Amino acid sequence: MEVLVSWIFSSEESSKVETEVRASLKDDPQIKLEPERIKIVEHILDASHKQLFELLIAGFCCTFSTLAKQAFDREDKYKKAAFSVSWMKFLANFHPGKRTQERKILERLLANLSTSSRDDVHCVVSVIHALLYEIIHEHVRLTKTESETAGDGFNGGRCQLSKESDDTLFRYCGAALQRMIKLRKETLAGKKGRGDLSKQRKPVMEQELQILKHLVRKDKSDISSSLKNLDEGNLVFPRDEMITFLRSVDDEVREFATDSNLRRYPSKFLHICQNAVLNNETLEIDFRLLVVSLTNLEDTDAEIMVGLFKDLVSKLANT
């Protein structure tokens, strides 16, 4: 189990896994068994779907790392069994009718593909699932476990910061989204003081605005009573689906907020904390997965999503 946990998710590692999955998928015996499965694989590996396929594999990798860590942290002796069960259960996220991010990305990948049987699609996903498990096993390296009681390390001397409530996270994110939307609307409208907008930047900003609008809650009738008390009709709140991502951002901020880090960076603490969150590749992938699952925008440029991620997270990390 320690071997599994030693594999650390990153964009670089995910890219390596994606390359090997791509190279192995067509030659898998289960795929070659049926022409329909070969057709599905050729479709999802097509160059036009490269970005979506990379995102799909990144989601697999991120989940693998998370489930391995959760299993390793168990107090009992059934760590490996717990991981195996949770890893197999993860496949259910791709079943038809599921409204998971994974299923939505798969549906985007399968768009414009002539009708394929449910069993053949499930077989292809299962092969990817199995290949990824095998590939990561080949990549892992045993690492030394860091001491949880390191006196002056990153984990030492933690400040007693409590988790923010969901309502607080919704307020912070809503305020950030409102500022981001306002800036883009006013800039696109040519409002005085917003600066000139280049021809190259204009279509990028238009797409950013489209994405941001998809992240905003349209119906505020079912928000909590505390948020209703604050809202007089003009406040913006994010969609419920964003809470997991917002909680992860909050966790990362609290992870950095230790007494040792405050002593080490007394004048630059907030700036370095912000950078620590901005450079978190797992959060970036989570945000991209979230955007793809919540929008109907085709072929959204990865750089645009990364730019929005950095803009939003920099605001959240400073609150």
DSSP codes, 251-296: HHHHHH-BHHHHHH-TTTHHHHHHHHHHT-HHHHHHHHHHHHHH--
* Residue 145 parent element (H or E): none
| Among 78-82, 88-92, 286-290, the least confident range | 78-82
Report the pLDDT value the prediction gives residue 298, as an integer from 0 to 100: 61
Average pLDDT over the chain reads 83
How many Å apart are CA 45 and CA 122, to the nearest integer? 16
Alpha helices, DSSP H, located in the chain: 2-5, 11-25, 29-32, 35-44, 50-72, 79-89, 101-110, 118-139, 166-188, 201-215, 225-230, 243-256, 259-264, 269-278, 281-294, 302-317
pLDDT in tens, 150-160: 444 444 445 45
- Considering 121-130, 150-159, 219-228, 247-256, the range whose residues carry the highest mean pLDDT is 121-130
Percent of the chain with pLDDT over 70: 88
Long-range Cβ contacts of 120-124 (<8 Å, 24+ apart)? 120/34, 120/36, 120/37, 120/40, 121/40, 122/94, 122/95, 123/30, 123/31, 123/34, 123/37, 124/25, 124/31, 124/37, 124/40, 124/41, 124/44
How many Å apart are CA 121 and CA 201, to the nearest integer? 39
Strand-pair partners of 216: 238
Q: Is the pLDDT of residue 141 over 50?
A: no
Report the pLDDT value the prediction gives residue 313, as an integer from 0 to 100: 92
Strand-pair partners of 258: 158
Q: At 71, list the tokens.
A: 């299993």
Report the pLDDT value the prediction gives residue 296, as an integer from 0 to 100: 73
Q: Is the pLDDT of residue 48 over 80?
A: yes
How many Å apart are CA 185 and CA 49, to the nearest integer? 31
| Among 28-42, 213-227, 288-302, the least confident range | 288-302
Average pLDDT over residues 67-88: 82
pLDDT in tens, 241-286: 999 999 999 988 888 877 777 777 777 777 888 888 888 888 898 8
Alpha-carbon dihedral sign for residues 238, 243, 247, 249? negative
Report the pLDDT value the prediction gives residue 75, as an integer from 0 to 100: 80
pLDDT in tens, 143-198: 333 333 344 444 444 545 678 888 899 999 999 999 999 999 999 998 877 778 88
pLDDT interval class at 235 (50, 70, 90):
confident
Find out whether 297 and 275 touch, Cβ atoms under 8 Å. no
The 10 Å Cβ neighbour count of residue 141 is 8
How many Å apart are CA 31 and CA 38, to the nearest integer? 6
How many Å apart are CA 68 and CA 86, to the nearest integer? 9
Report the pLDDT value the prediction gives residue 152, as an integer from 0 to 100: 44
pLDDT interval class at 58 (50, 70, 90):
very high
Burial class (CB in 10 A: 0-12, 13-18, 19+), 136: buried
Angle at 54 between CA 52 and CA 56, to 5 degrees: 70
Report the pLDDT value the prediction gives residue 140, as an integer from 0 to 100: 64
Average pLDDT over residues 86-90: 89
Q: Is the pLDDT of residue 4 over 70?
A: no
Report the pLDDT value the prediction gives residue 233, as an integer from 0 to 100: 66
Q: In this predicted model, which residue has the larger pLDDT, 80 or 199?
A: 199
Percent of the chain with pLDDT over 90: 36
How far are the Cα atoms of 121, 173, 234 from residue 217, in angstroms, in the given order? 33, 11, 12
